[in-house]
């Protein structure tokens, strides 16, 4: 496969950028020509960021296609026997698996027929809660084959979180595994689903894949085994499954993500624009060359897994590594062993993983053969200079460019980044916008700052094909969250600096959203979960710098009565409550019991002060004279944990 839209020089980058601003429709339609359409589009772009019913964003209106034909069928003649997915299991002793494009195509068709037999049709929502096994990718693609909308839930979320997501999307079918292997642990996925389904009478079918042989309860009439259903399709003969004709703007998936208020919202991505955007960014950012082995360590429960383990690489005909385990099992050399074993050329991972491996020392990396590596990527949070340098020196052996890719669940694909081998990486900077992306930096009065060297809030002033179209079931919420702060602009929720050459440095969230080990968690969500505990009166959650996780979760909690004697037990109970309500990933790292919280006269918690205390900036908490209860600040400082 060749990529006529691949940018290979600085001049070409500049030209492409210019073209994308001056003639965005021409720019994107030329790229869209490289995909397989059942019917071409009538209009490239229709958009409105403000006004009634906004945002309205339609790319390739009138176009008809199926994304799986682009990810699978069209490669069969040329790449049929080439690996599409190489899967490395949690336990290195277990044999890895390779699925060629032909095999993956066949498995997706078979499983799409399984879904059909179980009543799933175009437009239905299917909830997927599985470990990182190849069948997860197969399930996702099988939904897309039928035009069903998948909603993948990360394995670290609780039964309650699953129930919330199933109810929000009205899913009638759930796909899961008996369990998942994670390091030396087994996570009982089916049991968690069972707990969730107590609250979800609308779910008619649960399809269960065998992975861990964890005992499960199979409910008659509702639960079926993946393997049995496959057999049924196979004994019926031809397992082929024609790809449903979909509209360019039909939803492809829902992915829930946290914001500063309320429950997580379902970000909706639509088919054509998303497909084109993730493929275009994949090929360019990593400078992918046909035949190379590309390894993105992300879980499919997050957007990075959707865009850069499955859709982007497969639409580009690439070989995508899928990894079931964790970076430190059986030891902190696991990534490097995989790189060596499969001769990985491109590695895309998160700063938190790099920091945790750094902490284990050089012994696990220094003697590994990493000579196959050519390009390194980073995603999910700002990468600190120390981690950047370690990645560059010891993993890339000072030979491999690091692309620090800034983007979000809502953007569908990478937005601001260096382009490997083309533009210059700068430690701690995401650097430049990709062609097609028009960032704007806003001042505190809501105006765009036109000076090059500046800082402010990061917005986008023009649509791109991969952007979210709505939040599931609540378009107004989409408008309010992303398009109301700066009318006419998409607001990312991030702050940034821009240097005199136009390079962007992302400084982190400016709203009440935390980034813990690259996982996005709303402080309000964690507070709501803590407040569910019977002894808790009120709580306030803020982030603080954490060596490995980037940000840690610090909770200030007011409890009923006196807990001097059993603080530890209460803390454990609170952690258990958060695990139950959201999932283990949202457990606070520190809990401090307090008698009161600093509040304004109108009763608003002054998080700014709490943040300073959590960060250890005791002498610099700012003005406290406007507080209702200034005395409480000293008290809280004294009790800092």
Residues that bind ligand PRX (CB under 6 A): 257, 303-304, 379-382, 404-409, 430, 492-494, 506, 508-509, 515, 520
* Element housing 204 (H / E): none
> 380 or 552, CB closer to ligand PRX?
380
Residue 34 or 515: the one with the smaller Cβ distance to ligand PRX is 515
- CA-to-CA distance for 114 and 170, rounded, in angstroms? 20
Q: Is 597 helix (H, G, I), strand (E, B) or coil?
A: coil
Element holding 139 (H helix, E strand)? helix 134-146
Residue 520 Cβ vs ligand PRX, minimum distance, rounded to whole Å: 4
Could you tell me the smallest distance in angstroms from the CB atom of residue 456 to ligand PRX?
15
CB of 381 to ligand PRX, least distance (A): 5
Minimum distance, C-beta of residue 92 to ligand PRX, in the bound complex (Å)? 27
Q: In the block, which residue shows the tokens 């980034």?
A: 515
The distance of closest approach from Cβ of residue 352 to ligand PRX in the complex, given in angstroms and rounded to an integer, is: 11
Q: How near is the Cβ of 215 to ligand PRX at its closest, in Å?
A: 34
Whether 594 and 559 have beta carbons less than 8 Å apart is answered as no
For ligand PRX, the closer CB: 317 or 543: 543
- Which residue has the CB atom at the shortest distance from ligand PRX? 409
Q: Which is nearer to ligand PRX, 382 or 463 (CB)?
A: 382
CB of 355 to ligand PRX, least distance (A): 14
Tokens describing residue 69: 């034909």
Helices (H), 435-532: 475-478, 523-531
The nearer residue to ligand PRX, 54 or 497, going by C-beta atoms, is 497
In the complex with ligand PRX, the residue whose CB is nearer, 120 or 375, is: 375
Written as six digits, the tokens of 276 are 């084109």
CB contact at 8 A, 520 and 514? yes
Q: Among 108, 71, 2, which Cα is nearest to 320's?
A: 71
In the numeric block, the tokens 């120390």 are attached to: 386
Burial of residue 215 (CB within 10 Å: 0-12, 13-18, 19+) is exposed
Residues 6+ apart with CB under 8 A from 249: 58, 59, 60, 61, 270, 271, 272, 273, 469
Least CB distance from residue 416 to ligand PRX, whole Å? 8
- DSSP H helical ranges for 554-628: 567-581, 607-614
Q: How far apart are CA 463 and CA 260, in angstroms?
A: 23
Q: Name the residue nearer to ligand PRX (CB basis): 195 or 499.
A: 499
Residue 104 Cβ, how far from ligand PRX at the closest point, in Å? 25
Of 169 and 305, the one with the shorter C-beta distance to ligand PRX is 305
- Rounded to the nearest 5 percent, the helix, strand and coil shares of the chain are 35, 25, 40
CB atoms within 10 A of CB 501: 12
**CB of 513 vs ligand PRX, minimal distance in Å:** 7
Q: Length of the chain in residues, anyone?
A: 641
Closer residue to ligand PRX, CB minimum distance, 241 or 383: 383
**DSSP 3-state of 141:** helix
Q: Give 51-86 as a DSSP string.
A: STT--EEEEEET-EE-HHHHHTGGGHHHHTTSEEEE
In angstroms, what is the minimal distance from the CB of 532 to ligand PRX?
A: 24
Q: Min. distance of Cβ 302 from ligand PRX in angstroms? A: 6
C-alpha atoms less than 13 angstroms from C-alpha of 641 in its C-beta half-sphere: 16
Q: Which is nearer to ligand PRX, 113 or 281 (by Cβ)?
A: 281
Among positive and negative, which fits the CA dihedral 268, 271, 273, 279?
Answer: positive
User: Which of residues 382 and 401 has its CB atom nearest to ligand PRX in the complex?
Assistant: 382
Cβ distance to ligand PRX smaller for residue 212 or 304? 304
Q: Quick one: 101 or 406, whose CB is closer to ligand PRX?
A: 406
Nearest CA-CA partner of 312 in 71, 4, 36, 30:
71
**Both structure tokens of 33:** 């020509």
Question: Least distance (Å) from ligand PRX to the CB of residue 627?
Answer: 29
From residue 352, alpha-carbon distances to 344, 424, 571 in Å are 20, 23, 25
DSSP string spanning 217-258? Answer: PPPTTTEEEHHHHHHHHHHTS----PPPPEETTSEEEEEEE-
Side-chain half-sphere exposure of 159, counting CA atoms within 13 A: 16
Q: How far apart are CA 521 and CA 512, in angstroms?
A: 9
Closer to ligand PRX by Cβ: residue 209 or 350? 350
Q: Minimum Å distance from CB 62 to ligand PRX?
A: 30
């Amino acid at each position: 496969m060749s990529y006529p839209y691949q940018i290979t020089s600085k001049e070409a980058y500049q030209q492409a950028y210019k073209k994308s601003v001056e003639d965005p429709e021409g720019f994107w339609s030329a790229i869209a020509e490289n995909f397989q359409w059942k019917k071409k589009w009538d209009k490239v772009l229709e958009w409105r960021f403000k006004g009634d019913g906004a945002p309205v964003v339609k790319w390739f209106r009138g176009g008809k296609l199926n994304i799986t034909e682009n990810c699978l069928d069209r490669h069969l003649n040329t790449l049929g026997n080439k690996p599409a997915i190489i899967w490395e299991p949690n336990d290195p002793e277990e044999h890895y698996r390779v699925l060629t494009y032909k095999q993956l195509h066949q498995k997706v068709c078979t499983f799409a027929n399984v879904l059909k037999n179980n009543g799933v049709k175009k437009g239905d929502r299917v909830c997927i809660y599985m470990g990182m096994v190849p069948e997860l990718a197969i399930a996702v693609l099988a939904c897309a084959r039928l035009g069903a909308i998948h909603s993948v839930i990360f394995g670290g979320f609780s039964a309650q979180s699953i129930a919330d997501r199933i109810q929000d999307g009205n899913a009638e079918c759930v796909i899961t595994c008996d369990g998942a292997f994670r390091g030396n642990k087994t996570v009982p996925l089916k049991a968690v689903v069972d707990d969730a389904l107590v609250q979800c009478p609308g779910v008619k079918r649960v399809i269960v894949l065998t992975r861990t042989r964890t005992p499960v309860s199979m409910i008659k009439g509702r639960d079926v085994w993946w393997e049995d259903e496959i057999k049924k399709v196979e004994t019926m003969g031809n397992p082929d499954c024609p790809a449903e004709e979909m509209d360019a703007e039909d939803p492809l998936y829902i992915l829930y993500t946290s914001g500063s208020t309320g429950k997580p919202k379902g970000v909706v991505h639509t088919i054509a624009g998303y497909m084109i955007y993730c493929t275009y960014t994949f090929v360019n950012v990593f400078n992918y060359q046909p035949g190379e082995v590309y390894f993105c360590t992300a879980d499919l429960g997050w957007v990075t897994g959707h865009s850069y383990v499955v859709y982007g690489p497969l639409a580009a005909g690439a070989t995508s590594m899928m990894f079931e385990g964790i970076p430190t099992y059986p030891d902190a050399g696991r990534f490097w062993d995989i790189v060596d074993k499969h001769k990985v050329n491109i590695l895309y991972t998160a700063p938190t993983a790099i920091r945790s491996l750094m902490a284990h020392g050089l012994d696990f990396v220094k003697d590994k053969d990493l000579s196959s590596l050519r390009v390194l990527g980073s995603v999910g949070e700002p990468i600190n200079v120390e981690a950047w340098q370690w990645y560059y020196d010891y993993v890339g052996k000072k030979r491999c460019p690091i692309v620090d890719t800034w983007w979000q669940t809502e953007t569908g694909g990478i937005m601001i980044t260096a382009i490997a081998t083309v533009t210059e990486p700068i430690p701690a900077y995401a650097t430049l916008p990709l062609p097609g992306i028009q960032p704007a930096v806003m001042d505190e009065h809501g105006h765009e700052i036109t000076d090059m060297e500046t800082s402010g809030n990061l917005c986008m002033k023009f649509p791109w094909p991969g952007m979210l179209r709505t939040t599931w079931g609540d378009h107004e919420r989409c408008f309010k969250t992303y398009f109301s702060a700066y009318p006419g602009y998409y607001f990312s929720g991030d702050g940034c600096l821009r240097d005199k050459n136009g390079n962007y440095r992302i400084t982190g969230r400016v709203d009440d959203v935390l980034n813990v080990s690259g996982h996005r968690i709303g402080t309000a969500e964690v507070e709501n979960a803590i407040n569910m505990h019977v002894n808790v009166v009120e709580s306030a959650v803020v982030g603080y710098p954490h060596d490995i996780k980037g940000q840690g979760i610090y909770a200030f909690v007011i409890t009923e009565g006196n807990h001097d004697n059993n603080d530890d037990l209460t803390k454990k109970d609170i952690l258990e409550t958060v695990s139950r309500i959201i999932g283990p990933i949202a457990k606070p790292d520190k809990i401090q019991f307090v008698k009161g919280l600093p509040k304004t006269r109108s009763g608003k918690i002054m998080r700014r002060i709490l943040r300073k205390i959590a960060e250890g900036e005791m002498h610099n908490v700012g003005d406290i004279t406007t507080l209702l209860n200034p005395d409480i600040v000293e008290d809280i400082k004294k009790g800092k944990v």
